[in-house]
Structure 1
Amino acid sequence: MIKFFRKIRRQLLSENKIRKYLLYAVGEIILVVIGILIALQINNWNTERKNEEIKKSYYVQILQDLEKDEILMNQGNVLIDSFFVRLAAYQKNFRENQLSFWDAATEIGKVFSTENAHGWNFETNTNTITTLINTGDIKLIPTEIRNKILDFKYKQSGLIDYTKSQNIIISNASMITQKLYGGSDMPTRIGNQPKIVAYFSDDKIALKSLLELEALLYEQSQLLKNGMDRNKELIQDIQALKTALHEELEK
């Protein structure tokens, strides 16, 4: 093709047809420009197609992460509900019956449960969103959905940080109380030790222990109440984000 054009140019020059040569040269330039534009357009189409495929792949991965998070959060809500059921039972028992300080302390111990701490120290599935941010591919996502994703991650991280920090505070305070008074199985462990029994039979010691446990119980209930409220808000965000992502995938 290049040889063909060169041949035409030489022929025009040899015949001294300068005007035709100039017109031909301009036409050739226009053809070259058109060819470049077409090549650029094709390249843009290919880039857009690849970006669209990457974007949809991210949508699918994010949806999978959201599904797992929603299940985990709903499980957390079930655990929290069970805590408040036990709390209500303890409070009813305390109001209606005359319990000794140590019996009341033992009942408080039944309200606490390791499963609550486990349910609220969860690690969410943020790998896909983190990858989007770190690679810069977040810019491929439409602004409205991108803002929803980033807002969700911000709230999610805030909930994780809040629950972890509060659990550490409660755990540390609980350790101090346990070191001073032992656990709910203390009466069984001390056995027939008169001096120890006498110490723990002192009403002042028993009352102090009960009040400290009540304080821990209050802090735990506040943590779980606030956590559940924020958890429910996140579940609503998940459902809205899932709907938006499904709509994008269907386009």
Structure 2
Amino acid sequence: MEKNKTGKYFKYAIGEIILVVIGILIALQINNWNENRKSSEIRDNYYEQVLQDLEKDTAYINVIIKNLEINILNYQNYLEKLSKAESTDDILAILFELNWEFQYINFNTNTIESLISTGDIKLLPDHLRNKLLDLKTTQNAILKVTSGNDNNWLQNSQKAAGLGVTNLLLDINPKLLNQLNRKEDIISAINIINGTFQLKDFTEKNLLNSMKNLLDTIKELSELINAELNK
């Protein structure tokens, strides 16, 4: 009798253990499912934010490209006129047809930086994670090169202006203007301007190619993200 009861209790205990284990496994599965769902929601939210950043960058880059093409053409026109100049007066007459404006480049990188700083970038599949990191690296390289060249161009332009070339744009009495602007200073200013605009043109041509390549990268990345969202 006792042995029979012991056998029943033993079987009952085993059944209880099995039920507990099954319950734990189900709870773990539900927990994993909830965690995966949360991760998926976070990942999709990042996808949407990245797409918004890329859309803004696309519009921004297209404006930059348009301005760069205008600047490059403007400089080519200047060079054509410069080749026909016979005196400093001829150069001064066309000098201010050049576009003296420039702008520092700035990309929308908040989401990428947030992904990196929080470590959430690990939520993305490898191919997307690598694409985003490559994009950030490319953007940083563009910013570093153009910023350095633009600073150099700005310093030299200010140096040329300090030699008195900008006095020609001001309403100054001709007699006083002759006293302010020495011929040797004007010649130095012209040489500085020609040199610095060569750097500006070189920078803008390289930047133009980089921006066009960047548009292709952004388009490809956007398509990959949309494919992930539509899964």
Mapping for residues 1-251 of structure 1, pairs under 5 Å:
17-95=5-83, 97-114=84-101, 117-118=102-103, 121-183=104-166, 185-186=168-169, 188-189=171-172, 191-193=174-176, 195-196=178-179, 200=182, 202=183, 204-251=184-231
Deviation at 1:193, TM superposition (A): 2.5
TM-score (norm 2): 0.91
Deviation at 1:223, TM superposition (A): 1.1
Name the Cα RMSD after superposition: 2.2
Deviation at 1:43, TM superposition (A): 0.8
* Structure 1: runs of 5 or more not aligned: 1-11
Q: Distance in 1 between matches of 2:217 and 2:192?
A: 38
TM-score (norm 1): 0.84
SS in 2 for 1:124: coil
Contact 1:105 1:213 survives alignment (8 Å)? no
Contact 1:174 1:216 survives alignment (8 Å)? yes
Deviation at 1:107, TM superposition (A): 1.8
